[in-house]
Structure 1
Amino acid sequence: MNAQEFKSLILSKRPRYAKSRIPVMEAFANKGQSKSEYSQFGPLYELYIYGFRLGLKKGLKLSLPPRNLTQDFLEIGKWKRDSSLVDFLLMIIFSHADEIGFDWNDLEDMEDKEINQVVSNIIEFIESYANGGLQYLQEEWENDNLINSSYLFVDLMNE
């Protein structure tokens, strides 16, 4: 398998999120609402990415609950099409190769089963850090610790 085929396999996946995160996602994501209590982060997938980055930055890795308590998200390849956002996200993920159990040098020689395991590890990596970041955001929101600012995400990353 070459790198482009590997990337396409990853982009076809639909990460999940905990259904318990829906209230915070609705509170902070721009879903066409004209008014909100907080400055909007953007579409749901952007908030999911912010949650991932926040979780990764703060080391908040949190496994998802059982499948019946989660919901599938949009395919990674449909996040911000024709932009470098997903490529940037993948670079961040691959910089944690030891955590996902992946070595680029092994890609060409991997069997399908091994490749599928690496892709599964990548998706689990995204899900767990996104879940941790979204939980952190949810707790801060529920405890009224957030200041409404257009720099809210930057402020949270700098804490």
Structure 2
Amino acid sequence: MNSQEFKSNLVTKRPRYANSRIPLLEALANKGARSSEYSQFGPIYELYIYAMMTGIKKKRRLPLPPRNLTSDFLEIGKWKRDSSLVDFLLMVIFTQTDDLSIDWNELEDMEEDQLNKVISDVITLIEEYANGGLEYLENLYEKGELENSHYMFIDLYKDV
């Protein structure tokens, strides 16, 4: 598997999220014609990305519940299609080398099953950081401590 095939396999994956987070996602994002308390998000994938970044910033990884209590999210490659956003986000995840516990120099010598395990580990990391970030946001939301502004995440991150 070359680097392009590795990336192609990775971006077709659909990270999962806990069904228990759906009320939060609906409250913070504009989904279709549904109104939202917080107007700054259009597609839910934007909120998922910010939640993942919040999990990374706050060093909060939270495993997902069992598969029957989760839902598939949009394929990674469809997040902000035709932009470099996905490449940037993958690079952010790849910098979490302690969490991935792989040596990037060994990738080119790995067998396909080993590379598929790396891809699975990357997806798990995305899911766990997003879930940790969503839990953090949910706690703030329940306490009424989220500012309803276009700068909500900037304000959250400046404290980190």
TM-score tier (shorter) = over 0.9
- Runs (4 or more) in structure 1 with deviation over 3 Å come to 32-35
1:149 Cα shift?
1.2
In structure 2, the residue matched to 1:154 is 154
User: Structure 2 CA distance, aligned partners of 1:24 and 1:157?
Assistant: 19
Give the TM-score taking structure 1 as reference length: 0.94
8 Å contact 1:18–1:69 — kept in the other structure? yes
User: Structure 2 CA distance, aligned partners of 1:112 and 1:101?
Assistant: 18
Letter paired with 2:42: G
Runs of 5+ unmatched residues, structure 1: none
Give the TM-score taking structure 2 as reference length: 0.94
In structure 2, the residue matched to 1:123 is 123
Q: Deviations over 1:45-98 (max 9, x none)?
A: 111000000010001110000111100111111111100110000110111123
1:143 Cα shift?
1.1
1:108 aligns with 2:108: yes
In structure 1, the residue matched to 2:64 is 64
Q: Which moved more, 1:26-35 or 1:133-142?
A: 26-35
Q: Judging changes above 3 Å, is the alpha-carbon distance between structure 1 residues 42 and 102 closer, same or farther for their aligned structure 2 residues?
A: farther
8 Å contact 2:40–2:149 — kept in the other structure? no
Task: Name the count of aligned residue pairs.
Answer: 159
8 Å contact 1:101–1:118 — kept in the other structure? no
In structure 2, the residue matched to 1:85 is 85
User: Structure 1 CA distance, aligned partners of 2:35 and 2:84?
Assistant: 29
1:34 Cα shift?
7.3
